[in-house]
Amino acid sequence: MKKAIITALIGTAPFMAFAQSAVDAYQLAQPELRGTARFMAMGGAFGALGGNLSTLTQNPGGIGVYRGNDVGVTLNLDIQSVKSMAQGFGMTKNQTKFNCNNFGYVGSIMTNGDFMPVFNWGASYSRTQSFDRAYHGRFNSLNGSLSNYIAGYTNGIPSNELLPSKGYNPYQDSFNPWISILGYNSYIINPIGNSDKYTGLWQDGTSGTGGFDVLEKGYVDEYSINFGGNIMNTVYWGMGFGITDINYESSTYYEEDLNNALIPNSEATGVENGNGGFGLDNWKRISGNGFNFKTGIIVAPINELRFGLAVHTPTYYNLSQEGWAQIDYGYSSGYSNTAQTDDGYTDYFEWKYRTPWRLIASVAGVIESQFIVSFDYEYRPYQNMNAKDNDGNQYNDIKGDIETYYQTCNIFRLGGEYRINRNLSARIGYSSQSSPSTAQFKNNDVDVWTFGVDETETQPSYQIDDKTQYITCGLGYRYKELYIDAAYVHKNRKSTFHAYTPNNFTSTPPSAKITDNNNQIVLTLGMRF
Instruction: Give me the pLDDT at residue 54, please.
Output: 94
Q: For the domain that residue 293 is a member of, what is the CATH number? A: 2.40.160
Strands (E), 140-270: 190-191, 198-199, 207-231, 235-264
Average pLDDT, integer, range 413-439: 96
**Res. 13: pLDDT tops 70:** no
Instruction: Give me the pLDDT at residue 329, please.
Output: 95
Per-state percent for the chain, helix, strand, coil, to nearest 5: 15, 55, 30
Q: What is the pLDDT of residues 463-501, one digit of tens each?
A: 999 999 999 999 999 999 999 999 999 999 999 999 999
DSSP state of 26: H
**Cα gap 207→264, rounded to integer Å:** 17
- The answer to whether residue 2 sits within a structural domain is no
Q: Decide: 341 and 458 in contact? Cβ < 8 Å.
A: yes
Instruction: Give me the pLDDT at residue 15, please.
Output: 34
Strands (E), 87-206: 89-110, 118-130, 133-139, 190-191, 198-199
Domain count, the chain: 1
Specify the pTM: 0.89
Instruction: Give me the pLDDT at residue 343, please.
Output: 60
| Closest by Cα among 256, 212, 215 to 497 | 212
Instruction: Give me the pLDDT at residue 311, please.
Output: 98
Instruction: Give me the pLDDT at residue 529, please.
Output: 92
Q: What are phi and psi of 79, to 5 degrees?
A: -100, 105
**What are the DSSP calls for 147-176, one per residue?**
HHHHHHHHTTS-GGGTS-BTTB-HHHH--S
Domain assignment of residue 362, given as a range = 7-468+477-528
Confidence of residue 111 (pLDDT cuts 50, 70, 90): confident
- The answer to whether residue 1 sits within a structural domain is no
- Cα(first)–Cα(last) distance of the chain, in Å? 62
Q: What is the pLDDT of residues 243-284, one digit of tens each?
A: 999 999 999 999 999 999 999 998 888 899 999 999 999 999
Instruction: Give me the pLDDT at residue 344, please.
Output: 52
Instruction: Give me the pLDDT at residue 9, please.
Output: 27
Q: Which residue has the higher pLDDT, 444 or 464?
A: 464
- The answer to whether residue 413 sits within a structural domain is yes
- The answer to whether residue 123 sits within a structural domain is yes
| The three-state (H, E, C) secondary structure of 438-469, written as one string | CHHHHCCCCCCCCCCCCCCCCCCCEEEEEEEE
Q: Which residues of 303-313 are buried (b: 16+ CB within 10 A; e: fewer)?
A: eeebebbbbbe
Q: What is the mean pLDDT of the chain?
A: 91
Q: Which residue has the higher pLDDT, 440 or 15?
A: 440
**Res. 10: pLDDT tops 80:** no
Residues with Cβ < 8 Å from 121, sequence gap 6 or more?
63, 106, 107, 109, 225, 226, 227
